[in-house]
Amino acid sequence: MERERTCEPPILPAALAERIAGRAWSRDTVGEAGCAVWRLHRPGAADYYLKQGDGARTADILDEATRLRWLAGRLPVPAVRHLTVDGDAAWLLTDAIAGPTAWQALDARPGRRGEVVDALADFLRRIHALPVDRCPFEAGHALRLAHARDRLEAGEIDESDFGEDHAGWSAARLWEEITTLLPFDAGRVVTHGDYSLDNIVMAEGGVAGCLDVGRLGVADPHQDVAILWECLGEFDAELRERFLARIGIAAVNERRLRFHLMLDECF
C-alpha cells in the first residue's frame, strides 16, 4: 500500500505558512486517526511533520503537543517547532525523526525481523519503566471507556474501519462485547497508548524514537502489548511469540488482550 502521496499544501495560518514556505508536501495515507498528517521536505534540510485537526480533534492535537514537551529528555520524540490554534483548528509542526518506521523495516528486511522485534520490545520496556508517580497523564481503561461511550452515543465510531476480527460488527455490538470482559485486574505503568508499527522509527541496531504520543499516560501495560501483538500478526505469528518472550510475558492474558483490541476500535 502506498503510505504517502505528493500533494498541494492546504490553506495555512499566516505565521505557519511563512515558517514552512518552499517545502514540498506529501500526505500520510496511514494512521491519521481523524487528523491530517503531512511530511514537508526540502533538499538539504531536515524534514518536518505537520498534523492538523479540527473540531473534537483540536483537543487531540493539544494533548499530543503537551505530551511531546513532557517527554523531551525522557524518550526520543520529535521536537515541537510550532503550535497554533486558528478558530476550531489546531496545527502542530514537529521535527521528523530520520529512519524507516518499524513496519517499513519489517517489510524491507525479512531476514532481520527478529532483531526489529527485539528492539521494539526493549523500547516498550523503556517506556513502561518511566516513573508512574512523575507522569501527569491518566490513560487508564476507565477513562478510555468513558470516551468510547461518548463516541458511541455521538455516532463517531467508524464501523467501516474495524479490523478483520470485528469486520461487519456494529458499534453497539462492539461495545456490548467490550463490557462483557469487565472487570479485570489491570497493571499501572506509563504507556504509549498506540504502540503500532507505524508509530516507531527505527535506526540501525535499535529504535530511533516514537511518534503519535497523544494517548500516552498511566494505564494497563496490555494496552501497548495488544496493539503491537496485533500488528506483528500481519507479518509472522512467530514474531508475536518472540515479542512476548522478549518483553517478559510467559503467556498473554487473552481477556486483557481482547479488551484492549476492541476498545482501540472505538478511536
Q: Which residues are known catalytic residues? A: 194
Please state, in angstroms and rounded to a whole number, the distance separating the CA atoms of residues 241 and 237: 7
73: left (phi over 0), alpha (psi -120 to 50) or beta: left
Residue 142 Cα to chain centre, angstroms: 19
Residue 260: partners with Cβ closer than 8 Å, 6 or more residues away: 141, 220, 222, 223, 225, 226, 227
Please state, in angstroms and rounded to a whole number, the distance separating the CA atoms of residues 151 and 174: 13
Q: Taking each helix axis as running N to C, give the angle between helix 222-232 and helix 254-264, from 0 to 180 degrees, rounded to the nearest 10.
A: 80
Alpha-carbon distances, residue 112 vs 42, 71, 205 (angstroms): 31, 29, 11
SS3 (DSSP) at 227: helix
- Can you say whether the dihedral through the CA atoms of 206, 211, 213, 219 is positive or negative? negative
Q: Which is nearest to 175 in space by CA: 196, 194, 195, 156?
A: 156
Please state, in angstroms and rounded to a whole number, the distance separating the CA atoms of residues 221 and 223: 5
* Amino acid (one-letter) located at 220: D
Radius of gyration, alpha carbons of the chain: 18
